[in-house]
Amino acid sequence: MRILQLHCDSIQYTPTKKEIKSAEEIEPKTTSIEEVVVCFTAVEKDDDSGIVKNAIAEIQESMSKIGCNKLLLYPYAHLSSNLASPGTGLKILKEMEESCTGIEVMRAPFGWTKAFSIKVKGHPLAESSKVFSKDLVKEKTSTALDSESKIKSYWYIMTPDGKMEEIEKFNFSNH
């Protein structure tokens, strides 16, 4: 999955023509949205629910940093030459939409050519490019495993009389 994420003062788009047979059935009308994060999104072959989960988590994290709670998912095939089938692309975009929590989320129509105008904000986090793939999926390590990797072990030998001796200092030749 490839995403161009833009923090915008505004975006206005109008679906003008069905691009593919399986385009969503909509009534073409102009939509205007103010103060929004726009994610131009290309769904690629092999994208799945794990990628959706990671993408939405990263998008929502960056949205909280910039203080915006409105998201527009905008299908944008031009970001990739390795696109998923239209059916899979739409399914993944809908899954992304449904996975969002605590924010207002909208989705531009899938399978349509759209005219758009956009006004992007001018701050360091206003523009970012994101790539998600199975190879790049981050697995969260459990706290127990993190802690275990920091543990330092010490080895002792307990003699028959109950004394503990460090393994490095124990004389094995007598036993």
CATH code (residue 105): 3.50.80.10
In a domain, 170, yes or no: no
Domain range enclosing 132: 2-139
Mean pLDDT of 153-173: 83
Task: Give the pLDDT of residue 164.
Answer: 86
In a domain, 146, yes or no: no
pLDDT category at 137 given cuts 50, 70, 90 is low
In a domain, 165, yes or no: no
Q: What is the mean pLDDT of the chain?
A: 91
pLDDT category at 71 given cuts 50, 70, 90 is very high
Q: From CA 8, how far away is CA 136, in angstroms rounded? A: 27
pLDDT category at 144 given cuts 50, 70, 90 is low
In a domain, 58, yes or no: yes
In a domain, 147, yes or no: no
Task: Give the pLDDT of residue 161.
Answer: 87
In a domain, 45, yes or no: yes
- What is the DSSP secondary structure assignment for residue 44, as one 8-state letter? B
In a domain, 158, yes or no: no
Label residue 6 exposed, middle or buried (CB < 10 Å: 0-12, 13-18, 19+). Answer: buried
Q: Tell me the whole-structure pTM to 2 decimals.
A: 0.77
In a domain, 59, yes or no: yes
Total count of domains within the chain: 1
pLDDT category at 114 given cuts 50, 70, 90 is very high
Task: Give the pLDDT of residue 142.
Answer: 58
Give SS3 for 162.
coil
Residue 102 CB neighbours (<10 A): 9
